[in-house]
Chains A and B, each alone.
Chain A
Amino acid sequence: MESLSQLGIQWSLLIAQTVNFVILFGVLSYFAYRPMLKFLDERSAKIEQGLRDAELAKKRLEEVAQEESAILGNAHKEAKDLLIKADTVAKERSAGILLDAQKSADRFLEDAKKQSAEMTKQMVSDAQKELAGVVVIAVEKIIREKISSGSDEVFLQKTLKDIQL
């Protein structure tokens, strides 16, 4: 104990220094380190979150760009296809129309031909009939005049019947 006090060690001072340090330790850990560490943790979490978000946004953007180009490419292709299809359809249809027109024209022509042939026939037969009537009348007239002045009435009647039949 003698040597301790020669070195300046005193219980009261030892305790005072220790208490001083313990108070410093307590105050700093409770009021300084704890909020500071919490704050630093929060901030690093926030930064991490931000980085993650940025990464996500970048990825999403890339995806969107990809999607966009895919959609555009698709649309392009579809438009091309559509055009080609429309073209073929139009061609087909015009060919069909042409064919139809040809057909109906042919049919018309044929009909007309037929009709005209029929009409001709009819006309010929009508003319035949009329001509026959006229000939008969004319013959009758001529013959009647002859008969009234002459004979052969029986023969005449018979001839007329032959002609008429």
Chain B
Amino acid sequence: MEFEISIAAEHLFSIGNFFVTNSLLIGVLVSALLIGLFLWGVSKKQIVPQKWQSLLEVMIEGALGAIEDIMQNKEQARKAFPLIFTIFIFILVSNWIGLLPGVGTIGLLHSSEGHTTIIPFLRSTSADLNFTLGLSLSVVIGVQLIGIFTLGLWGYGKKFLISPFHKPYVIGTFLGLLEIVSELAKILSFTFRLFGNVFAGEVLLTTMLHLLPYFLPLPFLALELLAGLIQATVFAMLTTVFMKMAMTEAQH
């Protein structure tokens, strides 16, 4: 029996024409888990918080404080909070769930060309380009929308379309075009940073596990635990910064 490293998420089963992959499955499971936990925490809230509620409050207040620190504006932080916190918590939980024993190793036996490989039932959502690309697209499009809603279509558009007849002349226009390129680059950097880190981590762990199943993977597991947190934070922080930039009037 061999293991196979596949960049693409593996297909598990199909619903009609639609193939469900293991990473989509874990995405749905993580979403359900998060919704359940949060609604449970909110529904039982009391003035003096108990265990889970106080953990929830610490997370929410901590995140809100961090966003406020970056944005330097309480109201904007309040508006940006839901998206940023959802990104953070979803990436964090799905990264960490990918580290649980069995997530990468228990699955369907699959035979092809004489090899038997395992298709894991579950795969960290972030180790699937479909998810990271979808998330990046949502964030970048969302950031443009926030910019337009905050500054108006023209106010926000000034950042990209700069008349060549004013002070910096053609240079300004060129810089505006570069801004458009950088927005597109954000999608790619978001997508591949998250995917690359999480996927590499999973490959690393699987490799170590097959080299020596005992003790050797432990330090890497700890490292991946940290990396999962860091990647979630990085994604959320960058989103915050981009949002703040979109909400700030362009200076020319």
The interface of chain A, by Cβ under 8 A from chain B, is 6-10, 12-18, 20-25, 27-29, 31-33, 35-37, 39-40, 43, 46
Contact = CB atoms under 8 A, between A and B. Distances in A.
B130 A17 contact: yes
Contact of B134 (A6, A14, A39): A14
B82 A33 contact: yes
A16 B16 CA distance: 14
Interface stretch (B34-42, B103-111, B160-168, B232-240): B34-42
Interface in B32-64: 34-35, 38-39, 41-42, 45, 47, 56-57, 60-61, 64
A36 B60 CA distance: 8
Nearest to B10: A8
Interface stretch (B20-28, B113-121, B181-189, B201-209): B20-28
Given A24-B31, A24-B34, A32-B35, 10 more contacts: A8-B128, A14-B133, A15-B134, A21-B135, A21-B138, A23-B31, A24-B86, A31-B42, A35-B45, A36-B56
Nearest to B38: A32
B169 interface: no
Interface residues of B, number: 43
A25 B236 CA distance: 14
A12 B19 contact: yes
Interface of B: 6-9, 17-19, 21, 23-24, 27-28, 31, 34-35, 38-39, 41-42, 45, 47, 56-57, 60-61, 64, 78, 81-83, 85-86, 90, 125, 128-131, 133-135, 137-138
Contacts of B18: 12, 16
B236 to A, nearest CB: 13
Contacts of B137: 18
Nearest to B137: A18
